[in-house]
Amino acid sequence: MGDHEQSGAPLEGGAGPEPGMPGPVLRARAVGIDTFQEHVAYLHRACPVYRAEGFEALNKVEIRSGGRRILAVLNMVDSDSLIEPGELGLSSEAFRRLRARDGDAVEIAHAEAPASMPALRRKIRGERLDRADFEALVRDIAGYRYSKLELAAFVVATSQFELDRDEIVDLTEAMTAAGRRLEWHERPVVDKHCIGGIPGNRTSMLVVPIVAAHGMLMPKTSSRAITSPAGTADTMAVLAEVDLSIGRMSEIVRGLRGCLAWGGHAGLSPADDVLISVERPLQLDSPPQMVASILSKKLAAGSTHLVLDIPVGPSAKVRSMAEAQRLRRLFEYVASRLNLVLDVVVSDGRQPIGRGIGPVLEARDVMQVLDGNPRAPADLRNKALRLAGRVLEFDPDVRGGDGFALARDILDSGRALAKMNEIIEAQGRRVPPAPASLVHEVLASSDGVVCRLHNLRLATIARLAGAPKIPVAGVDLFCRLGDRVAKGQPLYRIHASIAADLAFARRMAIQDPGIGLGRPEDVPKAYVEG
């Protein structure tokens, strides 16, 4: 594997005075505040620099130290308990990217406006942008040259004034080019991705060992959860180390044909990580942003072929087949323009996949499927086989329609389990802990048929219980759509390791358990392709 760096890396360069021009010198101080993908600096109001330079709260400043520079949003401090007048406090992200040490001399100066600010203002007005505009915008976003307020304006503008198809192509290309791009020097390099919104949907942890056991190259880099109770990286971290360097990941993939790693160190499409930090709190996930986010990450990872899972259901991101088909056509257009072979699968998103919601519980489900355990969730197994089969059909030696049976043979023979164990050993095996011991069971309030399993509600209850930050927390489901239950029968069990977390989750479950009971005819029909 090879890779190369593109311009616009967030640690180097930026607007402001020419390199070498001195500014006021202060002492760096790590204040230990997590500002999540934003550089924030803290200046004491009694500091002589404050009045001499005319700084104000929310100014953007340039900070230099040891030949490196970053841009940050300035906050003013009135208490000596955080920093002293001669110090410049730095948030955790700013301190890390500046590679500073406590007490290092740092220079601070006013930052010039990002060069792409005119393009940002035009998009806020609803105007169309060209490729050069998007390239400039993405460079400045990846370079942390915008504040969260300015980024929020961009995200809202691209959501309100929806990008046309060619704008999405330009944005995707710009996001791909702004960071590292991996080269594997072979075809096909395959991947599988779900647009999200379905708890427990850990099919990637089954698809990767099945496909790798067949011999196809599948270097899977996944994200950690931000607003969900578990991401693939969170769940894999229960079983093995996922924080891998590019070099180590390359060795594993070359030797075993696959991996399941966290993508945080890869530097793939870095502007996407910055934009996500704004989109998620706003709960904005417009189709253009979704397409550019997903495809830029896959292209940067060196993928040539992708199976894309679009779940459809009453509480999924996509609520109707018509909406799914519009999204499918958009993905297909952009992928074809960027020479990415794409196969879209529309799947059943009416309810969570598997039983567990939360890293440890989801890892249990995955290993049960790989082990052939009779208690393994059948829906997780079947969906993983369907998706793995579609990936295997990218192999020119596999006939169309034969992928499912081939995937099933690899799983049932134990080859997938053996491959998963090889990957786990290579990445660094961990012993999975037991689910959290503080529990509360949510009981059926009446007799009836399960006709509603609300994805977001159940995910929120699992998060309140502590997942994913506490991997042993979460929700263990005991029922599926169409099941007949009796009054007092357990519907699911909440696991928590902190009493307060259990109380929060229990309170939400009392308000609305996320499971509805009714008659058989009330069960929503599945929107699934054949």
Cis peptide bond prior to 468, omega within 30° of 0: yes
The total of other beta-carbon atoms located within 10 Å of residue 58's CB is 10
Q: How many residues does the chain have?
A: 530
Sign of the CA dihedral with 397 first, then 400, 405, and 411 last: positive
Q: Chain-centre distance of CA 347, in angstroms?
A: 20
The first and second tokens of residue 44, run together, are 């004491």
Nearest-CA neighbor of 190 among 276, 304, 322, 64?
A: 304
CA distance 481 to 484: 9
Q: Which residue in the list 3, 166, 285, 402 is annotated as catalytic? A: 285
- DSSP states along 446-460: SSEEEEEE-HHHHHH
Nearest-CA neighbor of 384 among 188, 190, 194, 187?
A: 194
According to DSSP, residue 498 is labeled S
Nearest-CA neighbor of 348 among 321, 329, 326, 368?
A: 321
CA angle 338, 343, 349 (to 5 degrees): 120
Q: What is the dihedral of CA 124, 282, 272, 527, to 10 degrees?
A: -110
Nearest-CA neighbor of 372 among 329, 432, 414?
A: 414
CA distance 396 to 390: 12
Strand-pairing partners, residue 75, are: 42
- DSSP states along 410-447: HHHTTHHHHHHHHHHHHH-B-PPPPPPSEEEEEE-SSS
Residues 280, 293 contacting (CB under 8 angstroms): no
The answer to whether residue 191 is catalytic is no
CA distance 20 to 25: 13
The most distant pair of C-alpha atoms in the chain lies apart, rounded to whole Å, by: 75
**Catalytically active residues, by annotation:** 285
